Structure 1
Amino acid sequence: MRFDTVPKPPAVAARPRDDRGYPVPAITPWEDGRPQFALTDYERSAACARERLCSVCNTLMPRGPVWRVVGGTEAVAIGEALAAGRPYRNMAPTTEGPGHRACMLYASMVCPYLARSNARRRVTAVQGDTPDGLTAHVVRGAARGDAGAVVGFAEYEFGITPTKVLFRFLDPVEWLPHDDADEQLPNLRAELDRIAQR
């Protein structure tokens, strides 16, 4: 699907856009008037963590589950644990922040890297730092992996270091897998209908 045909959550539709029309996520830094999609702005990410704001649309996430898009082995491990009725706790932190269910479903479909299993990162997504154990997967040429999923978690924790904002997601409550993120379209439409009826 073309990104401009994917239905937008209302708060995403209100976001600033780049010159192609892509809505710019809340945590994306700007340089010379252009969004740097592969990078994460430290201050914006820290504000989202502290204030419980969605990393995509920058509006408040109510108490309760939060979502994120996962790929590769993490998506598979979560799915296997849930299918077997086992708890899943990945205690390794990530630099990727949480968001609303609708925002993460949308992001999974329009972000070229998240949407396709064969997608590769065009740039290294580590700003002012070199890749380490937490960021080795966000380097130029890294592939998403065979599986993807939008996952709901009961809660998240965060820590703010001098150079990074780190998140840990606990207790998955929903697993919406995909190989190609276009498969998430029915879930996104249903979620947008649910939001509209509130």
Structure 2
Amino acid sequence: MPPTVQTRPRDVRGYPVPAITPWEGDEPQFALTDYGRSADCALKRLCSVCNTVMPQGPVWRVLGAAESAAIGEALAAGRPYRNLAPTLEGPGHRACMLYASMVCPYLARPNARRGMSAAEPDDMTAHVVRGTVRGAMGAVVGFGEYEYAVTGTQVLFRFLDVVEFLPHDTADAHLDELRAELDRRAGRPAG
């Protein structure tokens, strides 16, 4: 677990709660995104998982099956990938996103299902339906840059210029990569 994630507030089971997760009383709503917290992450360049500043340079996201497949196909064909469709999901540090890909049940396994639906579905969240399966491959993807817009009701992100593509069937495939990233961040030699 990245040290910055270790310091996050925990739910009653002891799981760290990502920065953009809204709370209802004492219960985090893991499948939802808090508007104010997402706006803070965008405006202050904070990681959406650990809530600490991301340095200038690449940012990472965890992607589901459809976007992972599209990126994989573009890269295999030697084409750049550019998806200009906005998303509500903010960026994060490489270590935080590798970790999130492994511990979030929906992101970690192809047969995982969403635990809840979007509170008020719209064009951006219509796909967030309880019981939806993640699908074949997921990925942790690094992007050279991102853009954002904070509207009156949503925080929208767009990610540009793929710099790293780490696909997975099950996210435990990233465990060695996460360990190496944590060692690198701590200044320890790899291995």
Residue 96 of structure 1 is matched in structure 2 by: 89
Residue 132 of structure 1: how far off its partner (Å): 2.5
Residue 146 of structure 2 is matched in structure 1 by: 156
Residue 173 of structure 2 is matched in structure 1 by: 183
What's the secondary structure of 1:49's corresponding residue? helix
Residue 20 of structure 1: how far off its partner (Å): 0.9
Structure 2: which 5+ runs fail to align? none
Counterpart CA distance in 1 for 2:164 and 2:135 is 20
Aligned residues: 188
1:108-123 alignment, distance < 5 Å: 108-123=101-116
What's the secondary structure of 2:84's corresponding residue? coil
Q: Deviations over 1:143-163 (max 9, x none)?
A: 111010000000011111221
Root-mean-square deviation (Å): 1.1
Counterpart CA distance in 1 for 2:111 and 2:153 is 30
Residue 84 of structure 1: how far off its partner (Å): 2.3
Structure 1: which 5+ runs fail to align? 1-7
Of 143, 155, 158 in structure 2, the residue corresponding to residue 168 of structure 1 is 158
Residue 26 of structure 2 is matched in structure 1 by: 33
What amino acid is the match of 1:64? G
Counterpart CA distance in 1 for 2:134 and 2:104 is 11
Counterpart CA distance in 2 for 1:101 and 1:146 is 22
1:35-74 alignment, distance < 5 Å: 35-74=28-67
Counterpart CA distance in 2 for 1:141 and 1:34 is 21
Q: Deviations over 1:83-105 (max 9, x none)?
A: 22211000100111100000000
Displacement over 6 Å in runs of 4+: none
**TM score, norm. by length of structure 1:** 0.92
Residue 82 of structure 1: how far off its partner (Å): 1.8
What amino acid is the match of 1:174? E
What's the secondary structure of 1:25's corresponding residue? coil
What's the secondary structure of 1:153's corresponding residue? strand
What amino acid is the match of 1:87? P
What's the secondary structure of 2:142's corresponding residue? strand
% of aligned pairs identical?
74
